[in-house]
Amino acid sequence: MAKKHPGFCALCGEYFDDLSFEHIPPRSAFNKFSARAVSGKDFIGKTTVPWDLKHLPYDNLQRGMGKYSLCSVCNSTAGVWYVKEYKKISHIFVEALAQITSADFPQCIEIKEMYPLRFIKQVICMFCSVNNQESLRAYNMAEQEISLQDNPLVQMMIESKKSLYQASKLVDELRRFVLDKNASGLDSKKFKVCMYVTKSSLHKLNGLSSVMKIENNTFSISSEISTFPLGFILYFNPTEDLEYKGVDITNFANCNYDDIASVRMPVFVYEMNTWVPLDYRTKAEIQKGINEAEDFLNNR
Ligand SMILES: [Zn+2]
């Protein structure tokens, strides 16, 4: 008998004995073939370079990359409303990528006719699956009092933990946005959705994470989905002073379901060689970092 996947649907929130598989990205958007899913906890300290996953334990996903995260009704409804547009845009970017090398990639791409709201809702739908109730349980702690610490690094870690908890409470707003076909507008104080292009064959589905910059004691809270050819970063409670990657497409959410627009946008092509959130270093840059760390340790 086929294995069942019980759990709470990442969109309607109801409990089901057997959830359906959501392809991330959609099957029709270059996700038809089997994939090997490696869990984050298996990476750390187990590989010499982060793009070499050959020797790590993996789940063989025969259907492609994705997750048993949606009930069949939500899965097929979102499929009918949003997937077609996502597929179309993915194919436009693949055609553009095929014609040129990343070095001379045009600064802008023009998409003649698109449905911006349908596209961004598919993106948000994927983020809901990645951040389903089961994944968010890790942050489900009572809101902690921030005790003042002398050490700014410790202080930043406490604040970042609290921010992760607060962000986990915002995901319900995203679910409602996707579930209502006609809902438009995302609160830009709470959410920023950025997009980039990648040629990498590594797919990355990162749930809520805090990325800290130790040099200036700042951090950002985000979730990231990196797939070929498009990658997305969903920032939570974005502040103006942080540096954001990719092109901001949050405004797509302000359109109506049937609005068609011609969109001209800058294109950012990133490399994706590690599991680390928001890390777009080339292999050479990563190797240089590894060598420097080893030199440092050897010369202590
Ligand atoms: Zn559902």
For residue 175, how far is its CA from the centre of ligand 1 (angstroms)? 10
Q: What crossing angle do the helices spanning 171-179 and 116-130 adopt, rounded to 10°?
A: 130
For residue 11, how far is its CA from the centre of ligand 1 (angstroms)? 5
At 157 the pLDDT is 84
Neighbour-count burial of 175, counting CB atoms closer than 10 A to its CB (0-12 exposed, 13-18 middle, 19+ buried): buried
For residue 12, how far is its CA from the centre of ligand 1 (angstroms)? 4
For residue 20, how far is its CA from the centre of ligand 1 (angstroms)? 9
At 13 the pLDDT is 96
For residue 173, how far is its CA from the centre of ligand 1 (angstroms)? 15
For residue 74, how far is its CA from the centre of ligand 1 (angstroms)? 4
At 222 the pLDDT is 96
For residue 80, how far is its CA from the centre of ligand 1 (angstroms)? 14
Taking a C-beta distance cutoff of 8 angstroms, is the pair 21, 68 a contact?
A: yes
- Digit-by-digit pLDDT tens for the chain (300 residues) are 678 999 999 999 999 999 999 999 998 888 877 776 666 666 566 666 666 766 666 677 777 889 999 999 999 999 999 999 999 999 999 988 877 665 666 678 999 999 999 999 999 999 999 999 888 887 766 455 556 667 788 888 888 888 999 999 999 999 999 999 999 999 999 999 999 999 887 888 999 999 888 777 889 999 999 999 999 999 999 998 888 999 999 999 999 999 999 999 988 888 888 878 888 888 888 888 888 888 888 887
For residue 179, how far is its CA from the centre of ligand 1 (angstroms)? 9
For residue 275, how far is its CA from the centre of ligand 1 (angstroms)? 29
Contacts within 8 Å (CB) and 24+ apart, 79-84: 79/26, 81/118, 81/121, 81/181, 81/257, 82/118, 82/119, 82/121, 82/122, 82/125, 82/178, 83/26, 83/28, 83/29, 83/122, 84/118
